[in-house]
Amino acid sequence: MLAYIVRRLLLAVMTVWAISVLSFMIIHLPPGDYVTSYIASMSASGSAVSEGEAQALRQQLGLDQPITIQYLKWMGLMLQGNFGMAMEWGRPVSDVIGDRLTLTMVISVAAIIFTWGIALPIGIYSAVYPYSFLDYVFTFIGFIGLAIPGFLLALVVMYVGFAWFGANVGGLFSPDFAEAPWSLEKIWDLTKHLPIPAIVLGVAGTAQLIRIMRSNLLDELRKPYVMTARARGLSEYRVVMRYPVRVALNPFVSTIGYLLPYVVSGSIIVSLVLSLPTVGPLLLKALIAQDMFLAGTIILLLGVMTVIGTFISDLLLMWVDPRIRFGRE
């Protein structure tokens, strides 16, 4: 059991390192660097940047050094907890990301709670009463949810919210609170704004989860241990909830790992449409500007989140499934 944890931990560290190399390489793949795109944007606004200035800027940012040196320097900074400067913003990366990361987490968690809260009961119902009228209804709605792209749903929800309810649907805060320091009122304001992005982000996942839960549970319901539980005289509710549902839930635990990055990266366009102050739009901007410190940090953070999430779900799975705990299939 300890060996299992240690092995997972070692693998996690290796994976994080591999992600750092990959994310660094990906950022360097497009031709040019931050200075090129800086010059382009300056000339677009009418002012020219001389060759000398550009060279000086490259030197100042360390962009003139070989790529391996750049990587090592970056890693060195990372290890000290310093994520470098966001070039475009002229502020430390941690400053730029900080709040947005928290809000991203809040929205993601809200979306996940929505997804699970809706999908699991419906999935259980659909499996216990397969091919019933309501099962078909849920399947129909579920597939529609799966088929509609998130940004379109966001637009529709915004329109409906604005036209029929007069709600201010964009963003996560009312204008009064957007720049205000954190307070109880601001948190309440955030809570009121949360449902719409959570639902929009959660709908596709909900449909998927319903299908997975339904088929998992249908398989489990046919197993003999369900019949023996019934033969013991348990009530039907307890038979279903205590045994097959419990077993069918195990695969979900292992999805916790990639849920977070999935929600973050899947939400970029939705976040733009709903003008949510999350990490997604920031990443997009940083990639366009070739701001390697900012983009690199975000990609690396997403990677690390996945790895940590997977590690946690491995531990959880070990806790809920004795077959893994004892190293059996």
Partner 1 sequence: MQTSTKPLLSVRNLRTSFFQDEGTTKAVDGASFDVSPGKTLGIVGESGCGKSVTAQSILRIVDRPGRIVGGEILLTREDGSQTDLVKLEASGAEMRSIRGGDIGLVFQEPMTSFSPVHTIGAQLVEAVLLHNEVTPKEARRRGIEALRSVGIPKPERRIDEYSFELSGGLRQRAMIAVALSCDPRLLIADEPTTALDVTTQAQILDLLRKIQQERGMAVMLITHNLGVIAEMADDVVVMYLGRVVEQGSVDDIFHDPKHPYTKALLQSIPSIDSAPRVKLPTISGSIPHPFNRPPGCPFHPRCAAFIPGRCDAAEPALKAVGDGRQVSCFLYE
Which residues lie near partner 1 (CB under 8 A)? 222-225, 227-236, 243, 246-247, 250, 320-323, 326, 328
Q: Which is nearer to partner 1, 35 or 240 (CB)?
A: 240
Q: Return the structure tokens found at 180.
A: 């205000």
Closest C-alpha to 274, from 148, 150, 114: 150
Q: Which is nearer to partner 1, 52 or 232 (CB)?
A: 232
Neighbours of 110 (CB within 10 A): 20
Neighbours of 203 (CB within 10 A): 23
Those residues whose C-beta lies under 8 Å from the C-beta of residue 257, and which sit 6 or more positions away, are: 306, 309, 310, 311, 312, 313, 314
Q: Which is nearer to partner 1, 59 or 235 (CB)?
A: 235
**Rounded least distance, CB 285 to partner 1, Å:** 46
Q: Which is nearer to partner 1, 192 or 222 (CB)?
A: 222
**Rounded least distance, CB 239 to partner 1, Å:** 9
Q: Which is nearer to partner 1, 100 or 214 (CB)?
A: 214
Task: Give the C-alpha separation, 34 to 31, whole Å.
Answer: 10
Q: Which is nearer to partner 1, 248 or 305 (CB)?
A: 248
**Rounded least distance, CB 254 to partner 1, Å:** 14
Query: From its phi and psi, is residue 263 left (phi > 0), alpha (psi between -120 and 50) or beta?
Result: alpha
**Rounded least distance, CB 117 to partner 1, Å:** 23
Task: Give the C-alpha separation, 233 to 291, whole Å.
Answer: 65
Task: Give the C-alpha separation, 288 to 276, whole Å.
Answer: 19
Closest C-alpha to 294, from 67, 11, 93, 50: 93
**Rounded least distance, CB 258 to partner 1, Å:** 23
Q: Return the structure tokens found at 165.
A: 């309810």
**Rounded least distance, CB 143 to partner 1, Å:** 22
Buried b (16+ CB within 10 A) or exposed e, 205-222: bbbbbbbbbbebbbebbe
Q: Which is nearer to partner 1, 81 or 322 (CB)?
A: 322
Q: Which is nearer to partner 1, 241 or 284 (CB)?
A: 241
**Rounded least distance, CB 246 to partner 1, Å:** 6
**Rounded least distance, CB 140 to partner 1, Å:** 20
Task: Give the C-alpha separation, 228 to 30, whole Å.
Answer: 61
